[in-house]
Amino acid sequence: MRPALLVVVVALAGVTAGAQRAAAPKPAQAPAAKVPGAPAAQPLEPLSYVCTMPGDENVLEDKPGVCPNPKCGMKLVPVRLVSKWSCATNTAFIKDAPGKCPTDGSELVRVTVEMTFGCPGTKDLDTLEPGKCPDGTPKQRKYAARAHGNHNPQHGGQFFMAPDAWHHVEGVYLASGTFRLYLYDDFTKPLKAIDARPIAARLVTKQVYDPSTGKENELEKFALVRKGSYLEASIGQRSLPARMSAKVAFKTGDKENLFDFTFDAFSRDPAAPKTAPAPVKTTSAAPRPSSPAATKPSATAAAPDPNLIELGVNPALIATPIPETVPEMLAQLRTRTAQIREFIDKGEFAAVYVPAFQAKDLALALDEHRRELTDEKQKVVEPAVQKVVRSAYMLDAFGDLGNKQQILEAYAIFTAAVKEIQSAFPEKP
């Protein structure tokens, strides 16, 4: 079992801007004219430095160094992390925008991947910066899956990362009254039989705290029995929201890990054959697809799908396009920042990453307008955008762990950076 050092470690101060991205053009320089019909240039996310030791992949720094885990001590490796859209069960399929998975028709979900620039047919020339191939053509963007890059549920349940930063679980509560616990590795691949064999778990549906012993007395519990790639127990239909806890030991003699689940509705596997009317799917496939009351979006922000809002889907979980103007971008950034706080206050930590990642995309889009500002304001925007990017990844990681204190600390960094961005840009064109 790894220590609590698995948390993301980010030193956000003192970023060397020149090492992260090209120097900003002078304010007097006019922005390049857009060529009609030409695709917009994709913003380049800053470099991050990560640990490659299994279990420590969530270490994330903004400068070179070594892994802070004393049992590891490996040198941090530079990577360029980006958030893209992919099939929940097949991250080899990468897209820049929401859509449908070609293999099962489910909605694409957000994933974090590593991006490099390379030439067709060779890996020897892959780099972290754009460039040209030997034949003079521009290098192409290439994406590779990374550990902890896909924390989306695979079967319509609720997805959590274990404290050892390697195992992952997904709890599913079916209308038949069956609870299933799916087991995954750090790449969200189902555990092999040999790795799942030592796992012992039970499901507790009723317990009370005993102050005399300082422990929970389990009044109702069920053994979770292995059924192929998952553990299962028949607990009958419960009134919703149904709360239950899985207590899991991943190795014989290990300390139990506690995973608390709250099901506002019965789980439905998005890829399973449907004989009943199809369940509502959000275009961003949040890890905990509950149906909280809809929050009214900003009037100047691009509106989410009204059909989804009418069905009670929170707009924070619905992908919206990046608007064209700076004031609209700022309005959406305010909306998404407020939605993150709403999820934190409600305890829906696993859904925080959806508005956080869209806010990150908005910050990067605003960074493309940095050249329109004075020299002084450009110096404010560049590090603030980098803080938003990294704190969004922190919110994603801490949300998966369900640690409210760490989420609040990351959110404080996030909101401070957002305020700096907003202070630099004019509210009106």
Q: Residue 190 class from Cβ within 10 Å (0-12 exposed, 13-18 middle, 19+ buried)?
A: middle
Task: Please indicate, yes or no, whether residues 319 and 417 belong to a single structural domain of this protein.
Answer: yes
Domain that holds residue 383: 306-424
Q: Does any domain span residue 142?
A: no
Question: What is the CATH number for 377?
Answer: 1.20.120.290
Pairing, β 178-184 against β 230-234: antiparallel
Q: Choose one of 263, 284, 318: the last residue of a domain.
A: 263
> Is the domain of 255 the same as that of 322?
no
Is the domain of 202 the same as that of 256? yes
Q: Is 409 domain-assigned?
A: yes
Q: Say what the pLDDT of residue 299 is.
A: 34
Number of domains in the chain: 2
330 domain-assigned: yes
Residue 426's pLDDT band (boundaries 50, 70, 90)?
confident
Supply the pLDDT for residue 298. Answer: 37
How does pLDDT run across 270-306, given as a tens digit for each residue? 766 544 434 433 333 334 333 333 333 333 344 444 4
Whether the full predicted model's pTM is greater than 0.75, yes or no, is no
Assess if residue 94 is contained within a domain.
Answer: no
Q: Which of 29, 73, 33, 24 is nearest to 53 (CA)?
A: 73
Is position 143 within any domain?
no
Q: What CATH number does the domain containing 212 carry?
A: 2.60.40
Q: Encode pLDDT of 149-163 as tens digits.
A: 888 888 989 999 888
The answer to whether residue 16 scores a pLDDT higher than 60 is no
Q: Is residue 370 a contact partner of residue 378, using CB atoms and an 8 Å limit?
A: yes
Structure confidence at residue 201 as a pLDDT band (50, 70, 90): very high
Q: What is the pLDDT of residue 125?
A: 86
The pair phi, psi for residue 167, each rounded to 5°, is -70, 150
Residues 220-234: tens digit of each pLDDT: 999 999 887 799 999
Using CA atoms, how far residue 156 sits from 84, 177, 263, 299, 318, in Å, is: 20, 15, 11, 32, 16
Q: How confident is the model at residue 279, as a pLDDT?
A: 41
* 353 and 248 share one domain: no
